Chains A and B, each alone.
Chain A
């Protein structure tokens, strides 16, 4: 028995700010203080509130420390763990002006969340199967194998209303049923952990924080669909997730929860890990399977669907990490409980990776139907620096944006589709008035041009042509006809591309055109970038009232575009200026601005 447990986040965000060194220092100081028998340090998965990492929680008090540094460790051990006096200056406070500490679940960030897929993240040690089992782990699998037929399992999943969390939103139970109906000597289960949307890290956090949930769910899926082998296709860029999966698979095999004759039911299931190699298109199911087979990850036309002819030509069920993470809870607590959450056609919860211009960047899990306003203002803590909210981008390079005027939209599959946006895999990037929507559209298109696999011409050539039009617009050479051409091309690519990548590639452009057409027009007619982002359209100007004539900017200018004499206001010659921004960076008086 330990009298206290110290949980430290070992997710990628916090390890990037040295949480592993903090754990080491903690263990050393605890041993030094002679408390090794009394206090246990646990490295957990992601807590979600990445903005204020590294995060540490001390139980039984539930004392929530944030922004901990290695230097703080001796004080925490000496004061808190030895003398029982929490270190006040490190305790998380929502508003630093109020001297009030709250426990984790009472904070605004956690209060409105409902954690199903993330239930164990930041709670258990992901490298210890016993902690997962203590949280009812593998009970759902036991129930399926010993009390239910495969058809029963599929019925529960269907009744729960769970839909694919990878972006498509296809009903999961139906997908399983299709595979189950096809007879074959071999079937497969595939977990899509190739999280390609830049700015999204839900799947990574689940794999890092709760790897056994995925193993359990895939085994259940295997039982339900008649598959005996599974593959987890995970990004090579996620080394911590890969390592924890390997450990988890090893432990499950050792306890007989994976392998031959699981729970003496006669059911066999084995799992393999395959590493991706950085190709966005591999998130598309047919491309992913082609990649597992060791080929260039190019998609192929459907039908035949994977349920008929998938991996190695055999019937295959493919689901995303977050979809699988919901499965054990659904089977354990029943379809009704899951279906009681959410909206009419979108049940349960959805995990979002909140990022961009928002105070509480991190991972949140909300019931479907929560409004964007609640996510941004209540959970996310609003926009830093008093700036105005402009839009939220969802679905990454395949998605669209939700403008400020629609901030009260309840988030679910159908509402987002109706406004020309999409749920996507869960990236939610908040943008403020300083972000140029044309530039954001260009950013995503640049991504898809780069990631287009080249198999079909609408995507390979079309996205490139769209990119050229956007470059023309942002460099100040665009015309109104270019905007029309851009739109026409976008619809053409959407209709004619082979796979999901091409069919959705124009979405960021179409969505920004729909809600922010005036910004496009400002770029081509007034030759101005209202947000002050597109360099070619900006002019740096010196405010003569603020300029002290210190000459620092003139010395910093690499092309000699600034003239003026000492103690007199300087001026910038726009015909010489290369818009590098060096003058603005160097000015001590805030006298230089972009217009």
Chain B
């Protein structure tokens, strides 16, 4: 899996750093908790920029190369920030056979970006996800925490318009 690395400058706050330090201090006795720390860091910052990975590596006393290796291995870790509205279209099997590929294509066309990218104004990002487990509602997409099920491409305009304003 190739990950898109952000070119946006890092702008973490001291509060975020303090929260991260707290997580690291609770976990540094057990190096197997690295993924847990990275998951918490992603909750704090929204993604895992290089600067945050350095803090984790130093705090946990784990080589940076290993932290980077873990961050690029797992799909959940994002190296670039997502938009204000993060759209994920499920491309799991149940959704795929019911045409979720067309829904995704329609969204990409409307926003002019590809999966894994963010609109230049930082408002929308799109990703194709594997399965959110709502297979009974296939095809499914999520905008942040809102779930939209039983979709067809013609509904995309109406859904996105809600967030455009």
Contact = CB atoms under 8 A, between A and B. Distances in A.
B24 interface: no
Interface of B: 1, 31-36, 38-39, 66, 69-70, 73-77, 91-98, 102, 129-138, 140, 147, 149, 153-154
Contacts of A585: 153-154
A17 B92 CA distance: 19
Contacts of A291: 35
A356 B39 contact: no
Contacts of B32: 292-294, 312
A198 B91 contact: yes
Given A198-B91, A198-B93, A393-B93, 18 more contacts: A12-B132, A13-B134, A16-B134, A16-B147, A198-B92, A199-B95, A199-B135, A201-B135, A293-B32, A294-B33, A294-B34, A297-B73, A361-B138, A362-B136, A427-B93, A440-B97, A443-B93, A453-B73
B73 to A, nearest CB: 4
A53 interface: yes
Contacts of B39: 236, 275, 277
A355 interface: yes
Contacts of A435: 97
A277 B97 contact: no
Contacts of A429: 93-94, 97
B131 A199 contact: yes
Instruction: Identify which of B32, B77, B94, B98 gathers the most chain A CB atoms within 10 Å of its CB.
Output: B94
Interface string A4-38: 00000000110011000000000000000000000
Interface string A337-361: 0000000000000000101110001
Interface string A419-460: 000000001010100010000100110010011010000000
A396 interface: yes
B88 to A, nearest CB: 10
A230 to B, nearest CB: 14
Given A16-B149, A279-B75, A294-B33, A356 B98 contact: yes
Contacts of B129: 237
A16 B74 contact: no
Instruction: Identify which of A51, A292, A453 gathers the most chain B CB atoms within 10 Å of its CB.
Output: A51
B71 to A, nearest CB: 9
B160 to A, nearest CB: 16
A437 B147 CA distance: 29
Given A198-B130, A199-B93, A275-B39, A361 B135 contact: yes
B93 A357 contact: no
Contacts of A440: 97
Contact of A277 (B69, B76, B102, B133): B76
A575 interface: no
A237 B94 contact: no
A275 B36 contact: yes
Interface in A156-214: 196-201, 204
Contact of A238 (B36, B70, B92, B133): B133
Contacts of B147: 16-17
19 contacts: A13-B136, A13-B137, A16-B137, A17-B149, A50-B134, A51-B136, A198-B93, A199-B93, A199-B94, A199-B95, A201-B131, A236-B39, A237-B76, A294-B34, A296-B70, A429-B93, A447-B130, A585-B153, A585-B154
A463 B45 CA distance: 35
A443 B36 contact: no
Contacts of A393: 93
B93 A356 contact: yes
Interface string A62-75: 00000000000000
Contacts of A396: 93
A40 interface: no
Given A199-B94, A279-B75, A53 B136 contact: yes
Interface residues of A, number: 53
A435 B73 CA distance: 32
A13 B135 contact: yes
A300 interface: no
Contacts of B38: 277
A278 B96 contact: no
B14 to A, nearest CB: 27
B69 A357 contact: no
Contacts of A280: 130
Contacts of B33: 294
A97 interface: no
A348 B105 CA distance: 43
A96 interface: no
Contacts of A353: 94, 135
B94 A361 contact: yes
A236 B78 CA distance: 14
Nearest to B91: A198
Given A275-B35, A296-B69, A355 B138 contact: yes
A201 B70 contact: no
B157 to A, nearest CB: 11
A292 B154 CA distance: 43
B113 to A, nearest CB: 17
A202 to B, nearest CB: 10
Contacts of B34: 294
Nearest to B33: A294
Contacts of B66: 295
A357 B97 contact: yes
Contacts of B98: 356-357
B133 A201 contact: yes
A277 B74 contact: yes
Instruction: Identify which of A199, A236, A444, A453 gathers the most chain B CB atoms within 10 Å of its CB.
Output: A199
Contacts of A199: 92-95, 131, 135
Nearest to A295: B70
Contacts of B96: 198, 443
B97 A236 contact: no
A353 B39 CA distance: 29
A253 interface: no
Nearest to A281: B73
Contacts of B102: 581
Interface in A196-255: 196-201, 204, 236-238
